[in-house]
Structure 1
């Protein structure tokens, strides 16, 4: 059984010590509830317990409010569609069709999950600020406050990505009346939290899972990119790449093999761990009934076979799969021709599992088959993907299955929780920030922040060189995997930018980043309408008449439930986003 340790005690200690920190369902309108209150937690141990609760909120809430953003980042970003059949989790349909409503409960659950995390960090900070006991040193107090402020900044950052117009809530707000307006830009306060964290956190906090100085630097620099401040971000990324170390004091590095990052048996190996900058540390078979597992992806396994036993969601899109086509030099087709003619990856759409099928014989980036399950290709150690028999409804979701977060057959009951209704609760960590992401963001900062196109090319080639190394195994021995480096200098910033952006799509695909990247680059309308023009004819049932509307769909609607909860005298302190 797996029982990963986060900070001082396992995540399950939240329930074993009866700690419930601000577990409300109405944003932040209720006082702290549970058997352990802030007043009772006036000790170092009590503050630690509240801090653990702050970390535990990283997993979010179910699949609607999960921390991996597979709905909001990947589906809305065109990497995948809802999948399954039309009626199951129907609230995702209008989200993927870019016609979301404020009354869609997915948004309310996501909002609650993020502001629950914020409430826990604020409780932690209040306890530490008011602590008068002699059982904690000033250094320990500063470290814990820095961790809590990092998490508070991160949760607000996630909310900012989702809704833009958000209320910023700190520890000074009266918890009995939290009708905080969202009319003031939250960026300065988010940056203040992250900056405090990076200037006060330890380089080595002494426990896996705790944020360190370098992880806070990386999140701070990432937040700068979201504000277009590439010049400010560039030296921070450079410092991380040259000097950064993990919480276990390992120098940050790419894992030896791409697929090791998503294999629970390997992700704790020091060489693999060196790529993790910040992650939600999942735990299974710990007595929590799966509450501490990677619950976010519980729906995202093949239907009617293979791992998980459920449920056929999060099916990779045709357009995303085609993106892994490479030319004779092993480079991606940056001109978009991957969606044209024979460049399109051959698939078994419309074929029964018993019908003859020959897999694609063209050049492909091997990361495709560690990210996507497709017919005839080994699905880890479950045997070849059989096609339609593992797909709930091809007409609704297409022929592909998600693979990145799937577990091996040999890991069932060892790296999966056996105490819940499904075997799909895994111990696989969700990597919020990994070193490949840092390298690619650093490449962006070199291009747009007054740096060197050659340095940007170097960073991208590091990621591609790792992808070209099969390690001890390849996804399919018969496939024609051809991946090469950019051996010719990029002639201009536009060429460099196109290569970096496409590399993020290939390397970080299905990890919840794509939509937010497109928005921050200012190209979401162009990229996603092009995606829809290609995808809709293939999956008309799933996409209908979907169109991305510039000036509206870059952000999601503020949940109507929250607007109503923050109303007084007929007016709400929360303003709705434009277009909703």
Structure 2
């Protein structure tokens, strides 16, 4: 079997047996309660093989599932899904919670902005991310004592560990704002304050990784120099450090290569980013490696973070969550010039089968649309991969509650499900990689950076690269040869009236900086929809209040689930520090963790 970083329970079990890695203990405890060195036997792991096993374990924590270390006491894998489908997409207006009102009610509070520090989902996310921090810190603390590694080998491991630590802290910072910094020098005292900005420390980790990682790697899934560069640039973008970000984007877009050594480029087909057959492609900057049916017989080798997010009452068996919103669907409407309606897209609503029975006739919308819609959203009468035309209401648990649509980017194909469907748990999993940064994301961040620096022609060039791929005939969704035999192939007839074109020469210059930024931000909405990005984007742009207020007003007229939704300025920009963590943070009679404003 080809050796890759697949977060396999087999690999982790082997680590435990070979290296004595029994440091994931205390089932009811948080990272603040644990002394991770207490049950480590340093002699067992202070070898090259031991360090390599620990490093694989640090990568394994990326999946957010942590069922391999159930002793840390986390909730369901969806609560800490690395896709951030709850915290980024549901909270950002891309999607409804889905299912019905009685199912997973903590998500409803997150969706409507009415969450507080007692919501257990936040505690799960916090613990799982800090589990990754713990694992990287253990590596960094043991590395100096390893005798059978060269200085170059140690630098390689240190670079990968610091890259991973940078990722875990980046996620914590954008989620919670006030985050304690714990590194390898504090490994016996994890009760640290969260009253200082940790962005400089995240930058330092990514800088070290960028300067010391090789441009290519021998194993799929390992971070390389260019993945670190992309993360560092993204860290600058989040801080609005545009002059620092630009040189990195210039290098990434001209010299960057995947870990396999392939020059970064957009794939011809948009869908290739969400297909197990085509993972680790030229657009994959850094991805969590998912696998299924790999012979280990273990649970959750596939992407269990998305296990709820398949159409209800369908061939997938479960569970009807994560239903795209009408607001998102309307965003894919295009005008006569093949461009999006940046301002009044909801005035050009896409026809849906809301309140139409699956047994009743229905004709899909005949207007012009961006084809990325039909690789992102399952809608009535349009091919749902090779599972048949989406039947509408019969695949939806409660249309009145969460609308008529289904997610699509996380769904595997029927023809090769024997290879890529993970059926080891009670709900579906798949071997579709979770791409944390893909090249189109990089291009749109580069466009944003150029626009902020008033280089509007350069910004437009990047956006048009993304739109050119969207217009590629290979990105269109096509009708089946025979609707009754969806695995029998596709015709050359598009499934809808698709029309996408680039912005004309000089368009961004004519729009001015503000207009160009509006176009770039809307392109991110279209390109990265249902990928856990939206909430964090609108928060960093300072548009969250306006966007979500508009969204709640519009969407609540269609469904019942977001009624009463609101965004409170000065509070909802960050999620609350979990109350459980604050309660556990007391040291010498005083708490070390401070709560965010407004909670």
Residue 260 of structure 1 and its aligned partner are, at CA, apart by 1.3
- Per the alignment, residue 431 of structure 2 pairs with 427
Residue aligning to 1:406 = 411
In the other structure, the counterpart of 1:483 is 500
Structure 2 SS opposite 1:333: coil
Question: 2:237, 2:392 → 1: CA distance?
Answer: 40
Distance 1:163 1:75 in 2: 17
CA–CA distance in 1 between the matches of 2:522 and 2:441?
13
Q: TM-score, normalised by structure 2?
A: 0.91
In structure 1, C-alpha distance between the alignment counterparts of 2:245 and 2:185, rounded to whole Å = 30
Q: Following superposition of structure 1 onto structure 2, how do residues 21-420 of structure 1 map, counting pairs within 5 Å?
A: 21-22=23-24, 25-32=29-36, 37-61=41-65, 62-131=77-146, 133=147, 135-175=148-188, 177-268=189-280, 273-286=281-294, 287=296, 289-306=298-315, 308-335=316-343, 337-340=344-347, 343-420=348-425
CA distance in 2, matches of 1:34, 1:467: 53
Q: Verify the 8 A CA contact 1:78 1:528 in the aligned structure 2.
A: yes
Aligned length: 564
Deviations 1:75-117 (A, max 9, x none): 0110001000111111101111101011111000000010000
Q: Quick one: distance in 2 between partners of 1:409 and 1:45? A: 40
Shift of 1:154: 1.0
Give the TM-score normalised by structure 1: 0.94
Taking only aligned residues, the RMSD between alpha carbons, in angstroms, comes to 1.8
Per the TM alignment, residue 33 of structure 1 is displaced from its structure 2 partner at its CA by: 7.7
Quickly say closer, same or farther: Cα 1:288–1:513, change in 2 above 3 A: farther
Q: Determine the C-alpha separation between the residues in 1 that align with 2:393 and 2:6.
A: 46
Structure 1 pair 475–183 and aligned structure 2 pair: CA distance change class (3 A): farther
Task: Identify if the C-alpha distance between structure 1 residues 322 and 21 changes in structure 2 by more than 3 Å, giving closer, same or farther.
Answer: farther
CA shift in 2, pair 1:472/1:9, >3 Å? closer
Q: How does 1:404-553 map to 2 (within 5 A)?
A: 404-422=409-427, 424-450=428-454, 452-471=455-474, 474-476=477-479, 477-489=494-506, 490=508, 491=510, 492-540=512-560, 542-553=561-572
Structure number with the higher helix fraction is: 2
**1:471 counterpart SS class:** helix
Deviation at 1:546, TM superposition (A): 1.3
Displacement over 6 Å in runs of 4+: 33-36
Q: How far apart in 2 are the matches of 1:544 and 1:10?
A: 42
Q: Which runs of 5+ in 2 are unaligned?
A: 66-76, 480-493
> Retained in 1: the 8 A contact 2:191–2:587?
no
Q: Secondary structure at the match of 1:64?
A: helix
Q: Return the offset for 1:374.
A: 0.4
SS in 1 for 2:531: coil
Q: Give the Å deviation of 1:150.
A: 0.8
Is the 8 Å Cα contact of residues 6 and 208 (structure 1) preserved in structure 2? yes
Q: Note the C-alpha offset of 1:410.
A: 1.3
1:274 and 1:37, CA in 2 relative to 1: closer, same or farther beyond 3 A?
farther
Q: Runs of 5+ in structure 1 lacking a partner?
A: none
Which deviates further from its counterpart, 464-473 or 252-261?
464-473
Q: Matches of 2:214 and 2:258 in 1, distance apart?
A: 11
Is the contact made by 2:83 and 2:434 (CA closer than 8 Å) also made in structure 1?
yes
